[in-house]
Amino acid sequence: MRIEFYDTTLRDGAQAAGISYSAADKRQIFGLLDAFGVDFVEGGDPASNPKDAEFFAEFSHPKLVAFGATHRKGISPADDAGLVALAASGAERVCIFGKADLSQVSEVLGVSPEGNLSMISESVSFLKAHGKKVVFDAEHFFDGFAKDKKYALSALMAAYMSGADTLVLCDTNGGTSPLAAYEAVKCVCDAFGGAAIGVHFHNDTGVAVANSLLSVKAGATHIQGTFLGFGERCGNANLSTIIADLALKEGCDCAVNLADLTRTAHAVAEISNITLDPAMPYVGSAAFAHKAGMHSDAVIKNAHTFEHISPAAVGNRERILLSEVAGRSAVVKKLENLFPSLDKSSPKIKEILDMVKLLEMKGYQFEGADGSFVLLAERMMGAFKPSFELVRYEITAGKPDGVNTAEVTIKVGGAVTTAKETGNGPVNALDKALRAALTRNFPELSEVVLTDYKVRVVDSSGATGAMVRVLITSSDKKKSWTTVGVSTDIVEASWSALADSFEYKLTGQGGIV
């Protein structure tokens, strides 16, 4: 069965707290979703704000959908600015919403039940007369269906008889249960025969994905959602999960480039300026990560023992995490890329595993610090050749002027280099001074940027004298890596993570999974 996917990240997703798209952002995300294979992408409401008006004025595409509402009460469609803007937009397809819940009709619109049906019918007819394909979103459909099934169906019929191409049932408040969703969708599909029926679920009770999947079972062939599930309040149905579920679990024809799912998800998250949930199904960095020793050992022998699909099917990858619960197999797997000729029975493997467990007991964390693990393994294997040696560093606190100063002296091949820099904090000053000293000898380090800096108190019972863990993520625009430092002194912990970060780049190692 062919399922049609309608993405509303650029409109419904933009209503999530903290999300704001420029017209350029919208074009970029549209391109990603188009390349992935999403059928339709809702670009926004051309009459709602100057940004959306600019977007529709400058951009057109067969998959682009313009969004709006039925005409306002007391005026005709031809006099409604929103409908006129939809009709004038370059979008071949438009989506309008209208009320399907009697309480919404009386309390929000302030019109009679018959008046609301006329508004739906007249609005669809107006847009069809202007050559548009029309998607009708029945707002509050599931709530209305539960209260007055006959009226909710009459709202759909008003749109259908006026030429609407797709009828979409909206769970606007996100409170519908999976069983209720299935029964309502089944009723509509039975009542409307061969009509194209779609659904639009919000995630206020955490079941938007489940509701969407059950709706397909009930006969729906058009699924709306946002690609990563974010949206107003608790968000929308997560299309990245739904698409993979339907394609891989239900055998539906989804006409997408499934192997690009993870890459597309991360790119959308980056443009949206959000951190993708590591635990997001299929596309998260932890979706196929294995930490427990027995699990890792089993997965290494046969991936299907603890993976429900091959990660490659969705463009993701398996990750074996090192920690105090890791086993020998996990270390062997990690070391294969670093030391291809290493004998799997070598006692060095146990030594490295024991050291990982000892350091984790002291507060280190290697599951998210790939760079530091590489350096640890190289040091213990006798394969590490330091690029530089610390002679000393000195930090001067920034009171009363707020400026911090760091002076770093390092030795490179017998030559001593000193650099002094100021920063808006002691770690910032230290970072700048170390970079200044190193780039005189290693100009390639100028392309390395710090992309994340995290500090975690390991044991809060130590109060201000507690052990802290610093994780630093760096990137050279080709790859990224994370290093870790632990100390009761936050500056010393930061120094360890910073020094490892630059050493990792200079050793040229990487690619460990």
CATH number of the domain enclosing 127: 3.20.20.70
Residue that terminates a domain, selected from 335, 359, 383: 359
Residue that terminates a domain, selected from 337, 359, 381: 359
Are 232 and 299 members of one domain? no
Are 161 and 310 members of one domain? no
Would strands 4-7 and 468-475 be described as parallel, antiparallel, or unpaired? unpaired
Asked, for residue 449, whether it belongs to a domain, the answer is no
Q: H/E element holding 470? A: strand 468-475
**Sequence-ordered strand ranges (E) for 330-440:** 389-396, 404-412, 415-423
Structural domain harbouring 325: 289-359
Asked, for residue 429, whether it belongs to a domain, the answer is no
When divided into structural domains, the chain yields a total of: 2
Q: Which residues contact 129 (CB under 8 A, 6 or more apart)?
A: none
Are 248 and 329 members of one domain? no
The pLDDT of residue 354 is 80
The pLDDT of residue 321 is 59
d(CA 511, CA 187): 53
Asked, for residue 71, whether it belongs to a domain, the answer is yes
Are 250 and 320 members of one domain? no
Are 230 and 337 members of one domain? no
- 82 and 69 Cβ atoms separated by less than 8 Å: yes
Are 308 and 185 members of one domain? no
Asked, for residue 166, whether it belongs to a domain, the answer is yes
d(CA 419, CA 498): 16
Are 220 and 72 members of one domain? yes
Taking the CA atoms of residue 204, residue 208, residue 210 and residue 214 in that order, the dihedral angle to the nearest 10 degrees is 120
Are 317 and 251 members of one domain? no
Asked, for residue 302, whether it belongs to a domain, the answer is yes
Asked, for residue 8, whether it belongs to a domain, the answer is yes
As given in the structure block, the two tokens for residue 188 are 């509509």
The pLDDT of residue 512 is 36
Asked, for residue 103, whether it belongs to a domain, the answer is yes
As given in the structure block, the two tokens for residue 152 are 């909710």
Are 245 and 315 members of one domain? no
Are 208 and 350 members of one domain? no
Residue that terminates a domain, selected from 359, 385, 404: 359
Are 78 and 223 members of one domain? yes
DSSP annotation of 388 reads -
- 37 and 63 Cβ atoms separated by less than 8 Å: no
d(CA 370, CA 197): 48
Q: Dmax of the chain from CA atoms?
A: 89
As given in the structure block, the two tokens for residue 310 are 């091959």
> With DSSP H G I counted as helix, E B as strand and the rest as coil, what are the percentages for the chain, rounded to 5?
45, 20, 35
For residue 351, which of 372, 371, 379 has the smallest C-alpha distance? 379
Are 251 and 305 members of one domain? no
Q: In a structure prediction context, what are the per-residue pLDDT tens digits for the chain, which is 513 residues long?
A: 899 999 999 999 999 999 999 888 999 999 999 999 999 999 999 998 888 988 998 899 999 999 999 999 999 999 999 999 999 999 999 999 999 999 999 999 999 999 999 999 999 999 999 999 999 999 999 999 999 999 999 999 999 999 999 999 999 999 999 999 999 999 999 999 989 999 999 999 999 999 999 999 999 999 999 999 999 999 999 999 999 999 999 999 999 999 999 999 989 998 898 888 989 999 998 888 766 555 545 554 555 766 788 889 999 877 665 554 555 566 676 677 677 777 777 888 788 778 877 887 777 777 667 788 888 888 888 888 888 989 999 988 766 677 889 999 999 988 999 999 998 888 899 999 999 999 998 998 888 888 888 888 877 666 777 888 898 888 887 788 889 999 988 899 999 999 999 999 987 654 333
Asked, for residue 397, whether it belongs to a domain, the answer is no
Q: Which residues contact 73 (CB under 8 A, 6 or more apart)?
A: 109, 110, 111, 115, 119
Q: Which residues contact 302 (CB under 8 A, 6 or more apart)?
A: none
Q: Tokens 């100009």: give the residue.
A: 443
d(CA 351, CA 445): 32
Sheet (strand 404-412) strand order: 389-396, 404-412, 415-423
The pLDDT of residue 302 is 55
User: What string of DSSP letters covers 11-27?
Assistant: TTGGGSTT----HHHHH
